[in-house]
Amino acid sequence: MNSPARPRLIVIGGGFAGLWAVRALARSKIDITLVDRCNHHLFQPLLYQVATAGLSAPAIAAPLRHILRNQRNVQVLMAQVSGIDRTARTVTTSDGNSLSYDYLLVASGANHAYFGRDQWAKHAPGLKTLEDALMIRARILGAFERAECANDPAEARAWLNFVVVGAGPTGVELAGTLAEIARHTLRSEFRHIDPTHARVILIESGPRVLSAFEPAMSGKAQRQLEKLGVEVRLGVPVADIDADGVLLGSERIAARTVLWAAGVAASPLGAMLGAPLDRAGRVQVKGDLSLPLHPEIFVGGDLASISAKKPVPGTAPAAKQMGTYVAQVLQARLRKRTIKDFVYRDYGSLAAIGRMAAVVQMGPLRLSGFPAWWLWLAAHVFFLIGFRNRLIVLIDWAWAYFTHERYARIITTDRTSKISKAVNG
Amino acid sequence: MNSPARPRLIVIGGGFAGLWAVRALARSKIDITLVDRCNHHLFQPLLYQVATAGLSAPAIAAPLRHILRNQRNVQVLMAQVSGIDRTARTVTTSDGNSLSYDYLLVASGANHAYFGRDQWAKHAPGLKTLEDALMIRARILGAFERAECANDPAEARAWLNFVVVGAGPTGVELAGTLAEIARHTLRSEFRHIDPTHARVILIESGPRVLSAFEPAMSGKAQRQLEKLGVEVRLGVPVADIDADGVLLGSERIAARTVLWAAGVAASPLGAMLGAPLDRAGRVQVKGDLSLPLHPEIFVGGDLASISAKKPVPGTAPAAKQMGTYVAQVLQARLRKRTIKDFVYRDYGSLAAIGRMAAVVQMGPLRLSGFPAWWLWLAAHVFFLIGFRNRLIVLIDWAWAYFTHERYARIITTDRTSKISKAVNG
């Protein structure tokens, strides 16, 4: 397959940027190797639904080699990248393979960051991978189980307090859905506790929720959250997180379940490229998404930092646009041409809030509540990869709509017990 | 809820025996506590489908407290039982709770057993829980990934050899489905290996597969397996299992993936009851499923050993019958009556073999191949708990039928890499 005349492209990361670049090169005379440490592409915008037991893990993920099975110029390798040699133009993997490239696209994304307080990580998990989601699901469902078993009322209350740190889209989705679970899904299933007494507290150090939206929309989102039963606390930074809860300014909130949706840091692979990084660890790229000293190396998605008038957000549409753009640059270069610099097209923002509520800001259009939720649903189902996943997700949601049930309320890790042991000392 | 006049029943285990006992007591004046270390009832007959990526974990599991939410005389506790005091009539849990009972039903089931060769466990995992299934799924899918990455052809071949030990229903289902995955599901998804060259070897120390069936049906099952591409090796016991494969008599079979479906041992809770155990660790009970010295303690399901003319099999129908029977005994005792000893009713046996093949032996009826598969499908979907799960499973299977795709091909544990590291030294 590697005929010597054909240039070799290595793409690191099968997220939106990497996968869209690969697919846009389907008819190119380029041999592509896609390397990812997971075997699947993940539809991250719905990851919070897996964490809150609304969807099963396979409903929002598809094997990369299945997606790309008919694209004959691609091979998929499930491996962890351990090194990048810019001089020899090779990528090495942790299982000892060394792969040569003519072009390289690094799109390994971002992870949660604790602003230097890494000791918070074990008390306040973040949501980036399917493993994170299944672990958070086990913690949330396990908290209600432990409250039911608790002999001490204060202990039970601590298990029924849920704190979400960060009121961006993920934090808002998690808080809204948690409130829905406590108020509706678990109603009448417990004998010693009343799940509707659970408190869900959404903490944001900034002045409003969903700061990417206009202030008026943030206000509407906040009112919808409060209607669902979420306590929104704005303008106060978290001072500390430990096994017993959160220190908010000087106020202690006892909570055994704290979820982190406050900060991201770029993948550590960015630091291997020898290019300047921004404060979040993202790689500063040129207007064509390549490195200043290495025009054969591109960076896309959440790992890329573009110096533009308006910052490019760390969202799925932005990552897809970057991936597709890198494919266009490569095709132009093979024809000895150049194309214009990357321009991010903002088609609008959508954020779900909970059962049947959302906010949408799209060009001149402003929606909130139920109509916004329908638009959000349609957009997310439409963009889910693969017809079958869309169908299953639709059925799951139709079911949840009528019954308040959440399909995937299954604890499948043994981490709950480990976590509770850690929490209990 | 615990009015002092009402007797208290503790049920340990929310499998078929425990759950069916609890449900049969819905209208009784008994206060029931159901204790399980999992939060869900598991439909074990379809567990191999989760292990082979045909179904997602939530498709075959439902939260116990959701199933029982409307039965007001039941409370569900998610806890691990650490002790049983027959004199004080208390059950203690590992989180320090102590629960009193007037009646006790122990139905904690069985686990895989390695006949004293526990060092085989890490090389040849067995299939009893959802965690087992997700781990086996990760191993199977990870093996093809590692074969694709391997530089050495012998190494790749070892990753493409799959051995299943034990040709009971689980072993037959796993082997048949593995062959289907290699021949159909993964076809054309790899670039360096040909998954259809994978070998699936089913090992059985006895003289035939599915020994619970008549010899003629065993022969038909074996021919169907061989048609799917499974190599069936009968009458040779496994001498050793290590990281490199299996020693079969004096023959070495190099295989990086070995699955164990050869033996079960009863739950260790049986040994806490002070009653005689049989060779498999099961508790020897009287004809009414109670203990000889403790008429208030019952044992049901896979943990019970009944001295009857015909042995009671360790199947879901037998466990349900025992659970329902214990409920009848309790109701009779509350009215100071007695009922006849437990009699197992054998409604027949079904075993799936792979895509569109099965064997059925039911009264005078004998079916194999496609008609048997339809009956197997109908029976399993019918018995799946909850309308919604049935619907989802039907859609999953209809999809698989037409496309050969397997829905749940998502690796969600990080154990693959740990396993491969262990295997590679």
Topology of the domain comprising A118-262+348-423: FAD/NAD(P)-binding domain (3.50.50)
Sheet holding A349-354, edge to edge: A349-354, A357-362, A365-368
Nearest chain A alpha carbon to B79: A149
Instruction: Name the active-site residue from A131, A145, A148, A173.
Output: A173
Residues of B in contact with A141 (CB under 8 A): 39
C-alpha–C-alpha distance, residues A172 and A209, integer Å: 8
The reply to whether residue B149 touches residue A77, judged by beta carbons under 8 angstroms, is yes
Q: Which secondary-structure segment (H or E) carries A38?
A: none
Q: What is the pLDDT confidence band of residue A387, given thresholds at 50, 70 and 90?
A: low
Nearest chain A alpha carbon to B66: A189
pLDDT at B413: 61
Supply φ then ψ for residue A143, to 5 degrees.
Answer: -65, -45
Neighbouring residues of B308: CB distance < 8 A, sequence distance ≥ 6: B344
Q: What is the pLDDT confidence band of residue B394, given thresholds at 50, 70 and 90?
A: confident
- Three-state SS string over A40-59 comes to EEECHHHHHHHHCCCCCHHH
C-alpha–C-alpha distance, residues A223 and A225, integer Å: 5
Is residue B386 over pLDDT 80?
no
Any CB–CB contact under 8 A between A92 and chain B? no
The reply to whether residue A399 touches residue B388, judged by beta carbons under 8 angstroms, is yes
pLDDT at A147: 96
Q: How many CB atoms lie within 10 A of CB A378?
A: 11
CATH 3.50.50.100 location in chain A: 118-262+348-423
- Three-state SS string over A166-191 comes to CCCHHHHHHHHHHHHHHHHHCCCCCC
d(CA B62, nearest CA chain A) in Å: 7
What mean pLDDT comes out for the span A161-181?
Answer: 96
pLDDT at A188: 87
C-alpha–C-alpha distance, residues B222 and A193, integer Å: 54
- In CATH terms, is domain A8-37+79-112+264-334 a member of 1.10.3720.10? no
Any CB–CB contact under 8 A between A130 and chain B? yes
* Average pLDDT in chain B: 91
Q: How many CB atoms lie within 10 A of CB A414?
A: 13
State pLDDT tens for residues B218-270. Answer: 999 999 999 999 999 999 999 999 999 999 989 999 999 999 999 889 999 99
- In CATH terms, is domain B118-261+348-423 a member of 3.50.50.100? yes
State pLDDT tens for residues A208-226. Answer: 999 999 999 999 999 999 9
State pLDDT tens for residues A72-90. Answer: 999 999 999 999 999 999 9
What's the whole-model pTM score?
0.92
Neighbouring residues of A110: CB distance < 8 A, sequence distance ≥ 6: A128, A264, A265, A266, A267, A280, A282, A302, A303, A314
C-alpha–C-alpha distance, residues B352 and B180, integer Å: 13
Catalytic site residue B173?
Answer: yes
The reply to whether residue A38 touches residue B411, judged by beta carbons under 8 angstroms, is yes
Contact A142/A158 with Cβ under 8 angstroms? Answer: no
State pLDDT tens for residues B156-201. Answer: 999 999 999 999 999 999 999 999 999 999 988 999 999 999 999 9
C-alpha–C-alpha distance, residues B106 and B130, integer Å: 21
Contact B291/B84 with Cβ under 8 angstroms? Answer: no
CATH 3.50.50.100 location in chain B: 118-261+348-423
